[in-house]
Amino acid sequence: MRLPFCTHRFRLSGLNLERFLNLMKQRGIPLVKVHRTESRTLVCECYSADLPAVRALTEEKGWKLEHAAPCGLSAAAHKMKKRPGIPLGIAAMLVCVMVCSRFVWRVEVQGAGAYKADLVSFLQESGYHAGVRRTSVDASALENALLRRYPQIAWFHVYVANVTLVVEVSEGVPMPELPPEEPGDLVAERNGIIHSIRVYAGTPAVKAGDVVQKGDVLIRGFERGRDELQTAVRADGVVLARCWDSFTVTMPLYEVNSTETGREHTSVRIETPWFHWPPGENEPAYLASNRLIETRPVGGVYFPVFLQKNVWREVRMERVPRPEEEVRREAGDAVLKLLKTALFHDEIIDKWVDYCMIEDDKLAATATAERLVDIGGF
């Protein structure tokens, strides 16, 4: 039987080697490779199963067949004969893989959110854990059991993927709270000047240009019919009003500079992960100081002892006035940035910045933005 990749290579020498090729063709013995190396030498490769026939032919016709050596899988099989442990190990490994693939070795829960820990413990208790046979996993029964146990979950999808038991969980989306249907007025949620009013239900109580305060009725919750009878309804509509939002940033008109006086105090101590010597910081009694810490290893990486040198330099703090224009510019930029950040999703109609000096040498910048807001609410 000719097995693919199971071949033998041999060297054939003699006269009229083309006749050998033709005889092989006539007898139906295929050659995988033929290469003429010298005038009287051919290097051929045939299927291992055909080698006895080839050998018989060459002996019959007087050609010399030598250096027959197995190639491909035949060579591997030849080597394996000397090391029987390797094929046995491969066979044992394949058997192990086949046996192990019949079991579930991992349980994966996806999308369970807050229920994950409880769900995992429930699966353990129900016998769905690593080591259970794949054939014993009844996915639909488990899905039903899970649905009964977790009614708030929308659905479960249980399946076995290779050696993993996957439980996909989809939590239900809670129903949004619908607005109550009782009759009522639409009132202003903030102060503003009415820009436009569109009424869907009810009777308008304000008109464009009116100034309203928080709590004022914008649309009354009744409608008058043809028969002059009033019917209570739930007021609905869009009431756009010009509203103003302000943000303030305060900045000092001075800056504090520190100047070293020239006095300094130095202390050295030994640091280890377990103790310090000498104990305590040994800090000088300066009113204000800059501290410079320099740590050097004493014993290298494998000996965690460090020498820590602390230098305190006394400094004098003094207030230095800043140019007002510079502070004003900085405060204006800062407050406008704050305004844009706070109202980035709204369309701003107009904006401006006011400045004022306040106590303790500080400058306050107030940015005000005007925008159109639907101020209706219940």
Partner 1 sequence: MLLDKLKRADIPQELVFGWPRSVLLGDEKLIVEQHQGVYACTEQEIILKTSCGHLVITGEKLSMSRCDRDGLVVFGHIEKLSYRPKG
**Minimum CB distance to partner 1 smaller for 27 or for 316:** 27
Secondary-structure breakdown of the chain: helix, strand, coil percentages, each rounded to the nearest 5: 25, 45, 30
Among residues 39, 135, 152, 341, the one that binds partner 1 under rule CB under 8 A: 39
Q: Report the side by side order of strands in the sheet with 211-212.
A: 211-212, 192-201, 236-252, 362-374, 348-358
Residue with tokens 């409880």: 118
- State yes or no: residue 34 binds partner 1 (CB under 8 A): yes
**Minimum CB distance to partner 1 smaller for 37 or for 290:** 37
- Total number of residues binding partner 1 (CB under 8 A)? 17
Strand partners, 339: none
Q: At its nearest, how many Å lie between partner 1 and the CB of residue 44?
A: 9
- State yes or no: residue 316 binds partner 1 (CB under 8 A): no
Secondary structure element (H or E) that encloses residue 104, with its range: none
**Minimum CB distance to partner 1 smaller for 30 or for 377:** 30
**Minimum CB distance to partner 1 smaller for 31 or for 315:** 31
**Minimum CB distance to partner 1 smaller for 35 or for 329:** 35
Q: At its nearest, how many Å lie between partner 1 and the CB of residue 131?
A: 51
Among residues 5, 36, 87, 281, the one that binds partner 1 under rule CB under 8 A: 36
Q: For residue 361, what are the CA distances in angstroms to 34, 222, 358?
A: 102, 57, 7
**Minimum CB distance to partner 1 smaller for 32 or for 206:** 32
Q: At its nearest, how many Å lie between partner 1 and the CB of residue 31?
A: 4
Among residues 3, 15, 35, 294, the one that binds partner 1 under rule CB under 8 A: 35
Asked if 164 contacts 101 with a C-beta cutoff of 8 angstroms, the reply is: no
Q: At its nearest, how many Å lie between partner 1 and the CB of residue 62?
A: 18
Q: At its nearest, how many Å lie between partner 1 and the CB of residue 78?
A: 23
Q: At its nearest, how many Å lie between partner 1 and the CB of residue 23?
A: 9
Q: At its nearest, how many Å lie between partner 1 and the CB of residue 52?
A: 18
Q: At its nearest, how many Å lie between partner 1 and the CB of residue 59?
A: 20
Secondary structure element (H or E) that encloses residue 51, with its range: helix 51-61
Asked if 378 contacts 359 with a C-beta cutoff of 8 angstroms, the reply is: no
Q: What is the CA radius of gyration of the chain?
A: 46
67: left (phi over 0), alpha (psi -120 to 50) or beta: left
Strand partners, 313: 264, 290
Q: Where are the beta strands (DSSP E) in 92-131?
A: 106-110
- State yes or no: residue 120 binds partner 1 (CB under 8 A): no
Those residues whose C-beta lies under 8 Å from the C-beta of residue 203, and which sit 6 or more positions away, are 219, 220, 222, 223, 224, 235
Token duo for residue 327: 């502070």
Among residues 6, 12, 42, 219, the one that binds partner 1 under rule CB under 8 A: 42
Token duo for residue 171: 């939590």
x/- letters, 14..33, toward partner 1 (CB under 8 A): ---xx--xx-xx--x-xxxx
Q: Which of 95, 20, 107 is nearest to 64 (CA)?
A: 20
Which residues of the chain form contacts with partner 1 (CB under 8 A)?
17-18, 21-22, 24-25, 28, 30-37, 39, 42
